[in-house]
Amino acid sequence: MNSTSNINELRTSLELLKKAGKTIGLVPTMGNLHDGHINLVKESLKKNDYTVVSIFVNPLQFNPNEDLETYPRTIEEDKEKLLACGCDFLFIPTTQEFYPETLYPHTQVKVPGLSDILCGLERPGHFEGVCTVVTKLLNIVHPDNAYFGLKDYQQYLIVKKMTKDLMIDTRIVGLEIVRDSDGLALSSRNGFLSDHELQKARQIYHSLQKTAKRIYLSEAKFQDLEKLAHQELLAAGLTPEYFVIRNSESLKSATPEDPNLIILVAATLGSVRLIDNIRISLADHEAIE
């Protein structure tokens, strides 16, 4: 595995491969890799000639009161996992390499509308930071395909729209959520939770499943189902930021006429913020996650 923190070095290597007609896959990460990340890497390795994994804890997507300094950094363990699955290139830029002049002010990329709701409301500026760093990575790597986990579903839609609007010639691929045996979505932040808190966190997926079933089996209004799930999370010891039923393409409030829905949740346990979702098809009457 070729490992570098130098942009020009990576570009030179990849340009030679592109000239030889090879396809490139990109998996952008912030490190502390788990099976969800490795699933993205394996898919990229399967579908492309070469795969680049980036590890960069991007300060531009963290608000001042968030966990930038304490975000888990496990670079040696990450390297071992990537070596084991056959990754070709590891790109580990420093903050100085990515933001050589200053972090603020810095040119930022914004996707209006989609970035201003849900997690965008709770974390102002977050998606501008995500879009800026992803744009940088796409401009450096010029991948044919870039892989994102659908746990961050809003992020996935935003990145897809960004690449379409800016005419970036990279296919954005979303892969399904990887869960533990009890349904908890894998996340780097799960490592901050105690065993007791992990049990509480599993209520998130249970509430998503219950709400999906209620949509199929009852004629209750979506708003009433959202409120019920909100109460269930509170009773389980979580603090919900939102629990909503939306159109899975636009993220607008869902109506009974929408064929494809997504149920999204963000909740905190202490200082740990967790997100999850389930997509369902009313046409097929089954979960499509």
Is residue 225 in a domain? yes
- Is the same domain home to 194 and 163? no
The residue range of the domain holding 121 is 2-175
- Is the same domain home to 36 and 81? yes
Q: Rounded to whole angstroms, how far apart are CA atoms 61 and 243?
A: 23
- Is the same domain home to 101 and 240? no
pLDDT at 256: 86
Q: Which pLDDT tens digit goes with each residue over 229-245?
A: 999 999 999 999 999 99
Is residue 182 in a domain? no
Is residue 181 in a domain? no
Token duo for residue 261: 């829905």
Global confidence as pTM: 0.95
Q: Does the pLDDT of residue 287 top 70, yes or no?
A: no
Q: Does the pLDDT of residue 197 top 70, yes or no?
A: yes
Total domains present in the chain: 2
Token duo for residue 84: 């084991």
Considering Cα of 152, then 141, then 131, then 273, what sign does the dihedral take?
positive
189: nearest Cα among 26, 31, 27: 31
Q: Which pLDDT tens digit goes with each residue over 63-96?
A: 877 778 888 899 999 999 999 999 999 999 999 9
- Is the same domain home to 208 and 160? no
Q: Does the pLDDT of residue 215 top 70, yes or no?
A: yes
Indicate which CATH number applies to the domain containing 42.
Answer: 3.40.50.620
* pLDDT bucket at 285, cuts 50 / 70 / 90: low
Q: Which of 118-127, 161-170, 218-227 has the highest mean pLDDT?
A: 161-170
Q: Rounded to whole angstroms, how far apart are CA atoms 137 and 128?
A: 14
Q: Which residue has the higher pLDDT, 218 or 41?
A: 41
Q: Which pLDDT tens digit goes with each residue over 247-280?
A: 999 999 999 889 999 999 999 999 899 999 999 9
* pLDDT bucket at 57, cuts 50 / 70 / 90: very high
- Is the same domain home to 152 and 12? yes
- Is the same domain home to 163 and 233? no
Is residue 180 in a domain? no
- Of 175, 203, 225, the residue at which a domain comes to its end is 175
Catalytic residue set? 37
Residue 114 to residues 128, 129, 130, 161, 248, Cα–Cα distance (Å): 11, 14, 13, 9, 12
How large a percentage of the chain has pLDDT more than 90? Answer: 86
- Is the same domain home to 242 and 109? no
Residue 124 to residues 62, 68, 128, 193, 261, Cα–Cα distance (Å): 9, 15, 9, 25, 25
